[in-house]
Amino acid sequence: MHAFRRRLGLPGRAGVAVLVAGLGVLSPIAAAPASAQTAGTLAGTWATPPPLSPGDSPPTDTGGPDKTYKKKTECVQRSLGQNVEINFRPWGQDYLQLQKAQDIVRATTGSVGGNQKVAVIDTGVTPHPWFQGRVESGGDYVANPDNGQPGGLQDCDGHGTEVAGIIAANPQDPKVGFIGVAPDARIVSYRQLSENYAEDDSAGAGTPSTGQPPSGGNKPPAGNTGQPPGGNTGTALPPENGGGAPGGTAKQQNDKGDNRQLQKKGTAGTLHTLAQIIRNIADGHRAGVINMSVDHCRAATGPGDIQTGEREVQAAVRYAADRDVVVVAAAGNVSDSCPQNDQADPNKPKSIVTPPWFSDDVLSVGAIDDGGGVASFSVHGPWVGVAAPGTKIVSLDPAVGSTGLANLTIAGGNPSPIQGTSFAAPYVAGVAALVRSMYPRLNAREVIKRIEATAQHPAAPGGRDNFVGYGVIDPVAALTANLPGDVGNLAPPKPVVQAANLPPADGGSSTPMIVALAGTGGGLAALIITLFVMHTIRRNRPEH
């Protein structure tokens, strides 16, 4: 056997072993799912939340706030500054090739997410006309709206409307470049957070503040209501100095990005009510996708440490995922109270961000800038799932009565581009709605896996890192890729007959072909004669 291997030039047993090992090195290694990574490399680290106990369950929904809040500043209004037209297409739309993705879904289903609902847990959503009435009340966990709208349909901060606009706004105007990711989807709005409200810990001590100055203070010019003229006009200064509302509204962000946080002193919103809302959505089948551009950030203190509210949210997102709801959350923004996780050991982070921390059940979204790099304000961590555009944001003007767009906010008293992971998350939530529309047989966790698997993976072990997770989302690939494991979940592709595009027949003379065939035939005849003669000579040769 060994001699036979040597004659054929085959390797021996040792050579075969080396060859097999070499093939193993060259074979592609599939990225381990997030759950496997958590159970393996992250087990017992600070970056991994303690597992849920069998008895852990989300709190029962009470349908309202768990504290009494009062308004401290007036709701966002249109700026008194110069109105500007915002007709250009935001860079994020081109980067993600959203128009191509929308064309694919429209051709397949007849709409772009028309059969989907996305729950937006945020600061409320103003019923902007470019929603075409596709916003419905989910509930209000801050205060009863004082604008005559149902719960969840007042946005004093101006944040939730911008988030919802990225998901589902539809200007229906060819001159407007901006459009939501799933412009036919419905929004279910829950007001759960506000920096314009604060806990009322002085029971009976006066009436809630309206943000108005003392008598004789600055007043808006006579006749100027701060409302926009008709048409597609944006505003150079949306949220803070508020059109004609002396005292303005609370600022949305600082130079590092959106700095709102759950349970921050002087604001409204707790982890407890966040968990209640998530359960409300899952129990009532209110939506197939949840977008949470709200976060709670705290210092990491060691393995196994988890707060009561965090545990409730952990139970709630597991509860929702088990009931077929895709849960998407912003990865969080760096701030003075939420330092960047830039330490040497990624498994011992400086900051813990909830809900992204619970990555087994939540798809958390980091932000990139218009250069394709990781945005400086995007919090890193092993829980980051994917990334999406989060800078130079254009979305709906959140002021009541507005019919246009906004691309600036106030940061440190100065106009600043809208940015933050808060605005990267709705890109992903919109894509999740499109995937659910295209592939209704996929469950929530399969939708997340599809988005992760088709993302533009970073050059890192396993195809993921702590900055962009599995990479920047690729909506076209998420809607069209044929992935391993799709069999049984997706309809097999229909065979298509391909037309043969052969060159036309040569209509010229056939003489060259005849000559070539004749020459070939003559050569074969000569070969046969030669073989016959040689055979005859060998047969008639005398024996020695």
Contacts of residue 151, Cβ cutoff 8 Å, sequence gap at least 6: 137, 138, 139, 140, 144, 145, 191
Distance CA 269, CA 191 (A): 9
Token pair for 277: 């809302």
Confirm whether 296 is a catalytic residue.
no
**Rounded Cα distance, 492 and 473, in Å:** 24
Q: Please name which of 334, 322, 307, 391 lies closest in space to residue 362, comparing C-alpha atoms.
A: 322
Active site residue 122: yes
- CA–CA dist 542, 241 (Å, integer): 119
Q: Which amino acid is at 157?
A: D
C-alpha pair distances (Å), 303 with each of 45, 52, 116, 331, 347: 5, 14, 39, 20, 10
Query: What is the distance between the alpha carbons of residues 303 and 294, in angstroms, rounded to a whole number?
Result: 24
49 prior amide bond cis, ω within 30: no
- The tokens for 481 are 């890729």
- Rounded CA-CA distance 292/422 in Å is 8
Torsion of CA 222, 224, 226, 227, to 10 degrees: 140
Would you call 422 a catalytic residue per the annotation? yes
CA neighbor of 317 nearest in space, from 444, 140, 135: 444
Q: How many CB atoms lie within 10 A of CB 216?
A: 6
Of 122, 157, 184, 474, which is the active-site residue? 122
For residues 99 and 422, is the Cβ–Cβ distance under 8 A? Answer: no
The one catalytic residue in 79, 140, 159, 402 is: 159
Q: Which of 223, 225, 229 is nearest to 242 (CA)?
A: 225
Which ranges in 27-124 belong to alpha helices (H)?
A: 34-39, 91-95, 98-109
Catalytic residue chosen out of the listed positions 422, 457, 465, 474: 422
Give the residue numbers annotated as catalytic, written as ranges: 122, 159, 422
